């Protein structure tokens, strides 16, 4: 973890450490559906409230331990970063709320779909917002993704809006993080986001109280502990991933990102026993084919880059 004293010191890559921390982060993220289902005594809105508030507490504790408080406070004065931090705060709030809601109503498989198609949405953002030109395999991946969404729309009898919202919000979140990469660390940007979202969380908590009971108070110490732990678990894998990303090649990170939706997809079918009609399988296979095309393109470009060097 970065401190005031060691900031800017080059970090030697440790593949074993990076792989261990990265896999741990993705396994924690992959287990979220089970954790959310265990918190079913609370409404999705209250779960999000405590995710924000205890996530903020975790971020503050990490900053204090890392002795980077002054660096964090300087973020509020960084005018170039503030618009991107505002965007990341808004879209991660949307992402968290829709994800918890989707899992709470038994749409774990559709929620996993959102993170499968996230890379496809990301490259579309690169085209429309950044003016990038796609290569043939990337166009193939996007085309397969579009056909997959159309197939799943017919299967569900509606747009898979949970998956699309998760994919779109997380793609925008990734864009904001990319713009912030050289300005604000993952820990500081995450803590900033939870600071910004705290008034929203308090407002949601008041709304929850006015429309029922606050389960954090009425469900005893076990229920309160579960809600608090989920908040802390929001921050912990993010920090682990940040360290892992510093110690692993980008290509490894690119492949590891699929571990979480794979785990959630398996949980949706095996643990939550969601139905998978033939048309839904076809839609997912099309998505996976698109991801295979993207992976092939990434490997090819990596090899060409190495040969050029």
79-138 residue pLDDT tens:
999 999 999 999 999 999 999 999 999 999 999 999 999 888 888 887 887 777 888 888
Residues 241-269 have a mean pLDDT of 80
Instruction: List the domain range (segments joined by +) for residue 41.
Output: 15-308
Read out DSSP for the chain?
Answer: ---TTTTT------HHHHHHHHHHHHHHHHTHHHHHHHTTTS-HHHHHHHHHHHHHHHHHHHHHHHT-HHHHHHHTT-TTTHHHHHHHHHHHHHHHHHHHHHHHTT-HHHHHHHHHSHHHHHHHHHHHTT-PPPPHHHHHHHHHHHHHHHHHHHHHTS--HHHHHHHHHHHHHHHHHHHHTTTS-HHHHHHHHHHHHHHHHHHHHHHHHHTS--HHHHSHHHHHHHHHHHHHHHHHHHHHHHHHHHHS-HHHHHHHTTHHHHHHHHIIIIIS-----HHHHHHHHHHHHHHHHHHHHHHHHHHHHHHH-
Into how many domains does the chain fold? 1
Q: Specify the pLDDT at position 186.
A: 82
Residue 242 has pLDDT above 80, yes or no: no
Cβ 13 vs Cβ 77: under 8 Å: no
Of 35, 31, 33, nearest to 223 by C-alpha is 35
Sole residue written with tokens 């074993």: 16
Contact 188, 68 (CB under 8 A): yes
pLDDT class of 11 with cuts at 50, 70, 90: very low
The yes-or-no verdict on residue 199 having pLDDT over 90 is yes
**What's the rounded mean pLDDT across residues 216-244?**
87
Give me the percent of the chain exceeding a pLDDT of 90: 59
Does 158 map to a domain? yes
For range 61-74, the mean pLDDT: 92
Grade residue 309 by pLDDT with cuts at 50, 70 and 90: low
pLDDT at 254: 65
pLDDT > 80? residue 239:
no
Residue 8 lies in a domain: no
> What is the mean predicted confidence (pLDDT) over 229-258?
77
User: Would you say residue 1 has pLDDT above 60?
Assistant: no
C-alpha 240 chain-centroid distance: 13
Residue 3 lies in a domain: no
Mean pLDDT of 155-176: 91
Q: Does the pLDDT at position 73 exceed 90?
A: yes
Query: How large is the average pLDDT for residues 253-280?
Result: 89
Between 288 and 22, where is the model more confident? Answer: 288
Q: What is the pLDDT of residue 56?
A: 95
Q: For 256, how many CA atoms within 13 A lie in the half-sphere containing its CB?
A: 20
Asked whether residue 77 is assigned to any structural domain, the reply reads yes
Report pLDDT for 301.
78
pLDDT number for residue 8 = 43
Is 5 a member of any domain?
no
Cα–Cα distance for residue pair 231/302, rounded to 1 Å: 37
What's the mean pLDDT in 245-262?
A: 75
> Span 50-70, mean pLDDT?
93
Residue at 166 is within a domain:
yes
> Is pLDDT above 70 for 15?
yes
Backbone angles phi, psi at 7, to 5 degrees: -60, 130
């Amino acid at each position: 973890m970065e401190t005031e004293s060691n900031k800017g010191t080059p970090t030697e890559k440790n593949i074993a450490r990076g792989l261990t921390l990265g896999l741990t982060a993705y396994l924690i993220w992959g287990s979220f559906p089970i954790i959310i289902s265990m918190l079913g005594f609370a409404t999705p809105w209250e779960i999000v409230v405590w995710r924000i508030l205890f996530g903020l507490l975790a971020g503050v504790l990490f900053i204090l331990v890392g002795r980077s408080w002054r660096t964090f406070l300087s973020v509020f004065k960084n005018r170039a970063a503030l618009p991107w931090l505002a965007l990341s705060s808004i879209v991660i709030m949307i992402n968290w709320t829709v994800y918890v809601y989707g899992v709470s109503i038994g749409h774990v498989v559709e929620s996993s779909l959102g993170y499968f198609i996230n890379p496809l949405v990301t490259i579309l953002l690169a085209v429309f917002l950044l003016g990038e030109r796609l290569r043939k395999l990337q166009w193939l991946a996007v085309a397969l993704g579009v056909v997959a969404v159309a197939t799943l729309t017919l299967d569900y009898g509606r747009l898979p809006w949970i998956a699309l919202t998760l994919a779109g919000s997380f793609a925008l979140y990734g864009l904001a993080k990319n713009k912030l990469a050289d300005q604000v660390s993952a820990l500081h940007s995450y803590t900033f986001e939870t600071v910004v979202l705290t008034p929203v969380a308090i407002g949601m908590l008041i709304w929850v109280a006015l429309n029922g009971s606050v389960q954090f108070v009425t469900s005893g110490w076990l229920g309160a502990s579960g809600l608090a732990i989920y908040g802390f678990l929001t921050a912990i894998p993010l920090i682990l991933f940040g360290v892992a990303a510093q110690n692993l090649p980008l290509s490894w990170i690119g492949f590891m990102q699929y571990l979480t939706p794979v785990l959630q997809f398996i949980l949706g079918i095996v643990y939550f026993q969601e139905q998978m009609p033939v048309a839904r399988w076809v839609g997912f296979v099309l998505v996976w084919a698109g991801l295979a095309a993207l992976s092939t393109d990434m490997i090819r470009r990596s090899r060409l880059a190495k040969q050029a060097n």
